[in-house]
Structure 1
Amino acid sequence: MPPTLRLKQALDYSRLNTGPSFRLPNPSTPKEKGWRSSQLFDVKIIESKTDADGTDLVKVHYVGFSSKFDQWVKASATVTRSSLMSNDPKDVFLFNVLSSVRDNLTVSRGIDSRVVIRIPITSPDVTTSLTDIAQKVSSVSSYVRHEFRFNDVHGPDILFGNDWWYRIVNKANDFAYVNRETVLFGYYERKMREEYTLNNDLKLVHRGFMFFLRFVKEKGNRSELCLLRCILNN
């Protein structure tokens, strides 16, 4: 007797959905005109002016390119490389510290708000300068690691400048800033490195000193931008 075939009954799942149905829109953002590149180009400033909105503009010529690529850009979009070209080790050191602070002022989710930055000290002049500044604007909290905490929130400005502690990350005005009451800095001697000679003799190599900067990072968005302005005015 031939086998009997059973047809599968189509299941209706429509009753499981008791709420309204909708389709999420697929947003598309308009493409920005201009060169999109994170690479820095050497430019020569030809002219400068201020537009009707009070924005400072400069006309730049890209060195090595045709003059047809000359364009007006915001003056704030230009970058000066003088800090990198300085022969003063203290200037290079501070540039590296500030660059690391900016790199850590992000608004990504899941990032720990506690930040520790470590920069090798390559010159004894930097250690002397840090100690001199620390004695004026901070109090010693540990003699072992040479830790210093600023006496007030404006103390780090003497070392890093006025606008070092905040960064507006994007056009949506998401921002991150350093809680300056939590700033702790200092330096310590790095652990000796063990090496052996060809005669199998142990040799200890001094690895220099390490600068560290610790702080707590805070984040905000456009609706909280007034908070950043209030902090700036205090």
Structure 2
Amino acid sequence: MGNKMEASRSRLRHIKNRNGDVLESYHELNNTAHLPRARPRKVPETSWTTGIYPVEVVESDQSRSGYVKVHYIGWNKKYDDTIEAENIITLPRPSTAFSKTLALAIKESLGPYVKADSLVKIKLPITEEEYKKLSNCGAPHKVTRTKTIYKLSKRSQLNHYLGEGWDYRIVNEECDNFYILTSTVKFYMHTRKPLEDYVLYPDHVERYQLERGNQLTFSFVRMAGNRSDVQKLLNSNQL
């Protein structure tokens, strides 16, 4: 019996740390303050992928004909590059006065002063002719007695009318952004009720109705994002 006990004691394993030092308890093993430290590996910057990036031309390259220096909007200046001018594509922009007004109103609603994940409604006066151009970009979703509500299946459906990038806004060089959930976009036109007005005469009062025309209601849910969403903003069919 005694021989077996001595044999088992000789087979006991010592608690050692990574440096081979013998420790008295597992508590000391968990305390790694004495171990050497290494600097963490630097995470590489977000790499470029195939896609179209918004740019502004900084200057022409004097040393090479047909080349220009460009700044990628929303990216740090260290990414500025010299490319062939023919690689710059002019994308659609709002084509009418009303589409410019609507595009600006959408951009203004995509800012840090509005709560994220919230419903936004834009209301603007609109003519029937202008609404016909806008409604041709969507698909009927619901028909009521007074209006037809339109929705989008792809964000590109409104590119021709509102311009490329109508549904997002990058607000700083760190690429913090706000964008529109494509599936939540709804728009419709309805005729506003006339405004009643009364004119006083010495012997009577007459009632008038002032026509207020048609109004567009353009609604969507606004979301917030960061640099990791940039590729999605540039290349996805839906947000």
TM-score when scaled to structure 2?
Answer: 0.54
Which of 110, 122, 129 is 1:125 aligned to?
A: 129
Which of 127, 148, 151 is 2:150 aligned to?
A: 148
Equivalences, count: 154
How far did residue 157 of structure 1 move? 2.2
How far did residue 104 of structure 1 move? 0.7
The answer for the alignment partner of 2:60 in structure 1 is: 49
The answer for the alignment partner of 1:165 in structure 2 is: 167
1:138 aligns with 2:161: no
Q: Partners in 2 of 1:218 and 1:171 — Cα distance? A: 18
Q: Partners in 2 of 1:128 and 1:225 — Cα distance? A: 32
Q: Can you list the C-alpha shifts for 1:191-231, whole angstroms capped at 9, x where unaligned?
A: 21010123412111110111111111111123443443553
The answer for the alignment partner of 2:184 in structure 1 is: 182
Q: Partners in 2 of 1:149 and 1:233 — Cα distance? A: 13
Amino acid at match of 1:214: S
Residue correspondence of structure 1 range 194-205 to structure 2 within 5 A: 194-199=196-201, 200-205=205-210
1:104 aligns with 2:109: yes
Q: How large is the RMSD of aligned CA atoms in angstroms? A: 3.3
Q: Partners in 2 of 1:228 and 1:93 — Cα distance? A: 24
Q: Partners in 2 of 1:109 and 1:115 — Cα distance? A: 9
Amino acid at match of 2:179: Y
Residue range with higher mean Cα deviation, 95-104 or 137-146: 137-146
- Mapped contact 2:195–2:209 kept (Cα < 8 A): yes
Q: Can you list the C-alpha shifts for 1:126-166, whole angstroms capped at 9, x where unaligned?
A: 134335x15xx411412322321124343222432222111
Q: What 5-or-longer segments of structure 1 have no aligned partner?
A: 1-46, 58-81, 84-89
SS at match of 1:197: strand
- Mapped contact 1:50–1:56 kept (Cα < 8 A): no
**Distance of aligned partners of 1:155 and 1:50 in 2 relative to their CA distance in 1, 3 Å threshold:** same
- Mapped contact 2:116–2:222 kept (Cα < 8 A): no
